[in-house]
Structure 1
């Protein structure tokens, strides 16, 4: 038993260091030189986002690239968001930005995006969410990626912003771990995931792969399912991950909402046909269960106590080093106590999210999965 947990610590440490090395070997940041003259359309589905639309609108006006089109699609909101959006457009005229506001022709985010795609004039489509804040050079960085004819889809990292609380810091550290796994998948030519809050693709590629046919029954996955379809159709080198193109989103305000959101994301595992993806979906839960099971070492005498202390000490120190370095690259520096508390709580959190993803009812924006069947 002691040997097993000793090997667990060694393998986990080597895996973390390897993921960190992939981040270190990322492509250097490019200069903001844009050669493309392609029309760009930004697609933004929204539902009940009246509180977030004003900040997003300001963020859109501050984008440096011109001209571009913004296609908003109201997914049957129950608040005054659509009326507010029309007032914002009327009060902020910009001749180089074409705003379009549509009603979703179906139900849910996937059909809202399809509605937007069919009305979009651009050959390059960029998606984000209504609760996001965009970098001023967001479009330019995507256009650089699509200068390469082989590129059909690109994505960038997302991170939460919020109050100076442990809940907020926990989410930022978790995002860093998501970046590492995302970077690994793209780097190996077998992308696992990305976020539609920061994603771009060619309109032709979206239509050629059949959009979301085959997975509309699930309320989430507008990013992962499309990523997999495009990667399978055009090859792994047709997708790229832009580590420096960071989008900010709102942090979840409570642990309950965070669990529900992450469980909704994780619940897509059963819909992926790839055995490779399903295994990697279960791996984090299995790994954290193994860390929690190491508590049994405390009943194995001094040898067990020493291995337990070494295992958890290694986990705390390496996660602090690797995830801290990842966040620092994007000018985010957190206290060591935030990393250590996150490392201690994360195994319990992952197991609870995994349980809810498998056995719980998934709700989102006032809907549950059954409403999409």
Structure 2
């Protein structure tokens, strides 16, 4: 047998081993960083003047809540009701109908008694034509913008132009905010003048009971597919995004819930039309501040809570993950100047490098590893003992990271109060490794080779 084949086999197995160590070590470090950050945040939330800031109307900045909506007739009414119940001294709600083909506008007119309004619009960032602006007769702070279709980023830009306040909160139309979510997020802008953007945790509403736009009972969804996504969201937000806080390198504020300083977003010309507009905006904010030596901070805060629907069937989930991965690649391509560029400091060294070499390159290496196993076995160059050890350690390590995220969440926030739900999440930490991850892996690899596609696809909703 050719020495070249043997050396190639060892080389590929070595690369896979290094990748395995790198990715799992990164996840472990992020969990440890998250633990430190959450403990620190919990301490600060119960000391200094934090409680007084939350309870006093004297400490706040008015906020514009922008809700882009496209074919959201099933859920938009409950979402608006949730926002109207926010505990906040001064805010406006701007629902932007992005050329929906369903009854989104009709539902809003019926439920909130809308009337035409001649509110002036400052054209500060580009967007498609606005056809009409409406204000609720019952709720003067509820504004509905009806515009031609231009995509989510375009809709948020229209909302920014219509908005009146120095902070804006972007929230998806299928999401619900807890009453104090905006207050908890926006108080940070009072405490720190350098803060330009923050995001809260996004939790899964599937399986929960909702009444009048508020989550009244929190339970895991019965569907295994939906429940695994609860596990993913817990791991991604508590261990992932919280962990990046310590490195001051947060690159993603979820499009489902984020609060921004409007002047800084205007400075980068608003949202850009891309599949991953939320990450793209945050990366451009980093670039703008670092290019111009502007002191700034971008933080994730773990306790303001937004509830969102996740896909309830595999076809929808695959489309979503394909779109997410295309968005990631497009953002990195558009901001490629930040890759391994010392000018951008820790953001480039840690966060951008992680997303390039772990999130983009990683799935390709992992798939090549799966493909190489039968090939090396047929040629007799597969080290089966090494392979079995690697697979066993990888699964056990991954399960440990999942369970650490579950207990980190349960210890600090105790959202799922039934022991059965906690045990089921632990069990799903194991189940995830046998089929689910492989399906998601294939979708990410597929997206890697079709990242130039710009379509979002359709996403059906269930009424809350």
Provide TM-score, normalisation by structure 2: 0.70
Offset of 1:201 from its aligned partner? 0.5
Question: Which residue of the partner structure matches residue 239 of structure 1?
Answer: 298
Quickly say closer, same or farther: Cα 1:6–1:230, change in 2 above 3 A.
closer
Matches for 1:75-86 after TM superposition, within 5 Å: 75-86=98-109
5+ long unaligned stretches in structure 2: 1-9, 115-135, 207-220, 340-351, 417-421, 460-464
Partners of 1:176 and 1:326 within 8 A in 2: no
Q: Is the 8 A contact 1:161 1:249 kept in 2?
A: yes
* 3-state SS of 2:195 partner: coil
Report the number of matched residues: 362
Partner SS state of residue 77, structure 1 = coil
- Answer yes or no: is 1:278 the counterpart of 2:356: yes
* Residue 381 of structure 2 corresponds to residue 303 of structure 1: no
Mapped to 1, the partners of 2:240 and 2:365 lie a distance apart of: 14
Change (3 A) 1:152 1:301: closer
Change in Cα spacing, 1:109 to 1:4, as seen in structure 2 (3 Å) is: closer
Matches of 1:71 and 1:337, distance apart in 2: 42
Change (3 A) 1:133 1:305: same
CA deviation vs aligned residue, 1:136-174 (integer Å, no higher than 9, x gap): 101211221111110111112212222311111121122
How has the CA–CA distance of structure 1 residues 230 and 301 changed in structure 2, closer, same or farther, with 3 Å as cutoff? closer
Match of 1:322 in 2: 404
- Listed as ranges, the matches of 1:1-373 within 5 Å are 1=10, 10-26=21-37, 27-29=40-42, 30=45, 31-32=50-51, 33-34=53-54, 35-90=58-113, 98-104=141-147, 107-147=150-190, 148-162=192-206, 163-179=221-237, 180-212=239-271, 215-216=272-273, 218=274, 220-235=275-290, 237-268=296-327, 269-270=329-330, 271-274=333-336, 275=339, 276=352, 277-286=355-364, 288-289=366-367, 292=370, 303-304=385-386, 306-308=388-390, 310-328=392-410, 329-330=412-413, 331-332=415-416, 333=422, 334-360=424-450, 361=453, 363-366=455-458
Deviates more, 1:98-107 or 1:245-254: 98-107
Secondary structure at 1:152 match in 2 = strand
Residue 335 to residue 351, structure 1, CA distance change in 2 (3 Å): closer
CA distance in 2, matches of 1:142, 1:205: 17
Aligned partners of 1:246 and 1:187: how far apart in 2?
Answer: 20
1:176 is displaced (CA, Å) by: 2.6
Residues 100 and 278 of structure 1, relative CA distance in 2, 3 Å threshold: same
Kindly provide the CA deviation profile for residues 189-239 of structure 1, in whole angstroms up to 9, marking residues without a partner as x: 222222121101111111111113xx42x3x22211111121222358421
For the 8 Å contact 2:70–2:99, the answer to whether it is kept is: yes
- How far the C-alpha of 1:352 sits from its partner, in A, is 1.5
Pair member with larger Rg: 2
Structure 1 portions without partners, runs of 5+: 368-373
The CA deviation at 1:304 is 3.9
- Summarize the Cα distance change of 1:284–1:183 in structure 2 as closer, same or farther, 3 Å threshold: farther
